[in-house]
Structure 1
Amino acid sequence: MQHRLIQTGLATLAATVLTLGMAACSSGSAEGSSAGSAISSERCEENKAAGTISYLSGYQFQSSASILEYIAASKLGYFDDLCLDVELKPGSGDTAQNTKLLASGQATVSAISQQDLIQAQANGIDIEGISSYSNAGLDILMTNPDITELTQLDGQVVGHKGYVPAAVQAMMVDAGVDWDSLTLVKEGYDPSVLPREQDGLAALTGFISNEPNQLKAAGDDVTVWQPVDYGIPSSLGAMAVNPAFAEAHPTAVQDVLRAALHAYDFCSSSDENAKQCVGYAAELSGGATYDTELNTTIWKTETQVAEDNPTPGQPFGGIDPENVSKLVDMLHQFSIVPPEVTAEEAAGWFDDSYIQAIYDGDELIWPAP
């Protein structure tokens, strides 16, 4: 699951955002280019006709993939360049709420993992998947270094944030762990409970870009187990759109993705650019309360995962239909969606035509035609 209330040590960030309310940040051209100067007048008018496009993040304005590049696209003026009026809204980390806001039209585009989109559709929530950066996900399992095989966890205590993510459970089961022998314990968001072996913990679920980085900074050594290494399906940086909006304004959907991917390239091209982009997120989040060092590490970790696990046969952001099929199988395995949901049906809930339209081979077309 994507950005499920990832705790980043920003103890007061949520309070700051609540103080701001759902304050929107309209895109502004920091680079000084005139609005719409990068595209044809015809396309500019089409995009203006889309009106205000509401982007809803997965979790606050954390510097994660699918969040930071949208902030940067706004601050760098890339949305303005394409005649797009985009407002940025911080999500609470409640993915189910995001899917409902998206389906109702209260949000236009939002960071929604492919698994969460399938679950939403299975529950009658109509949203459409439009991109994904990788078949790898953020969910991981951490163990202390004495665990060298997952089967050593048989009969042990495993901590989680409220539930064990399906991808982590699938990894453990496929590796031969006796699932019924485990004692599952809900823990808080302090990862130091693992090296301290609080509650007898032998393992703890987490997010690849968060807890391992916190523990490393604290000098604690843990082993990270990633579902992608076991062939378990997931997604990273996946985006979804309100279907009615997409049908009415296809060029706007294309160009929102185009601007975000252009910003992704900028923010990930150097340490200096990454720092600049994280600075934009810090400014949007209230400044002093934002842990820029940790958030820079989050961005670098997630973009590295995407680079290390490219989506096969797709340009960056393209949707892998085989991954969607595997996700349906995994969700069936753990009875998360009913058997009536087929891979063929789920494939219809994703549309990669928007991504395909903005690439020439593997090269992002910038600006728009």
Structure 2
Amino acid sequence: MYVPDEWEVPREKMTMCRELGQGSFGMVYEGIAKCVVKGDMETQVAIKTVNESASMRERIEFLNEASVMKEFNCHHVVRLLGVVSQGQPTLVIMELMTRGDLKSYLRSLRPDAENNPGQPPPTLKKMTQMAGEIADGMSYLNANKFVHRDLAARNCMVAEDYTVKIGDFGMTRDIYETDYYRKGGKGLLPVRWMSPESLKDGVFTTNSDVWSFGVVLWEIATLAEQPYQGMSNEQVLRFVMEGGLLERQESCPDSLFELMRLSWQYNPKMRPSFTEIIQSIKVDLEPCFKEVAYFYSEECKSRDQEEFDMETENMESVPLDPSSMLQHAASAADKHSGHKVENGPGIVLRGSFDERQPYTHMNGGRKNEKVLPLPQSTAC
């Protein structure tokens, strides 16, 4: 059952203007909504619909996926604005991201792209800005006990002012169906963005989201090339589980690749948290970032202090040399608390995930429940 709440919007306040593309459940439109944003008479929005042929169960699933986003209030996460659950078709109203998903936007910046907007490829400063914005959205989700499980350029969105935000999850799942792989008859898995522990054991944590973030950085640096180009999905599975990593491209700046490398530590507890990633690059971010970012909010500061107080008694150095990692892994695996160690200027490595903490996944579920399976898809 879906019970209408304060997010319900009268259907007569919605006007659909043009198609934006196909979503997981149905067509997505650009439209105009009246009085859905405080202080605005009319707001340009994205309107998600459900196919007319959808069953009641699919309509409820559609609304429940949207309901997860009711808990989010972060500048770098795409906002849910309202729901029309009464009558047909069922509608979900989202913040409009006029420049589309990040993967398509990056590909449009290739010199030979037919839809090139006349812009050069992103500079290091712009790539770093994208990284900071994505990390800020993910830091917010992590702080609210949400695990994304499908972080990729296709699932980030680009606003009119080029701000990058964590996208409306599930919206591009079927559009980019070739980015997913059906393993053993189960749901579709984004194997090229998955960490070794996720591939091996089906474990998804904020640390595995950090691994995926590293792959997103690689996508940004390569203008959205396919990760592990030339390898089959099965080959990628084996390669990553055995410790293989994406290669550095010649055009990739040193600082960006270093951030990727840190995100791809084989031991999940050795990866930096999203907050630590922002800490390491904050001096290179635009001044406006400080005005809107969760990282600089009072909520973030108070939460960081609470975590620091809890961890102070359990600090321990973590070896950064891969050759010594195996010796450390045995003892690290037995500890639930995180560890801190300096790794050059501005970078702090810490395992921020406590396996006993209940987490919610972006693509379904509620807080305080166990790990949920990835959603099924109609794509083959």
Q: Name the TM-score class by shorter chain.
A: under 0.3
Which has the larger helix fraction? 1
Q: TM-score, normalised by structure 1?
A: 0.26
Whose relative contact order is higher, 1 or 2, with alpha carbons under 8 Å and at least 6 apart? 1
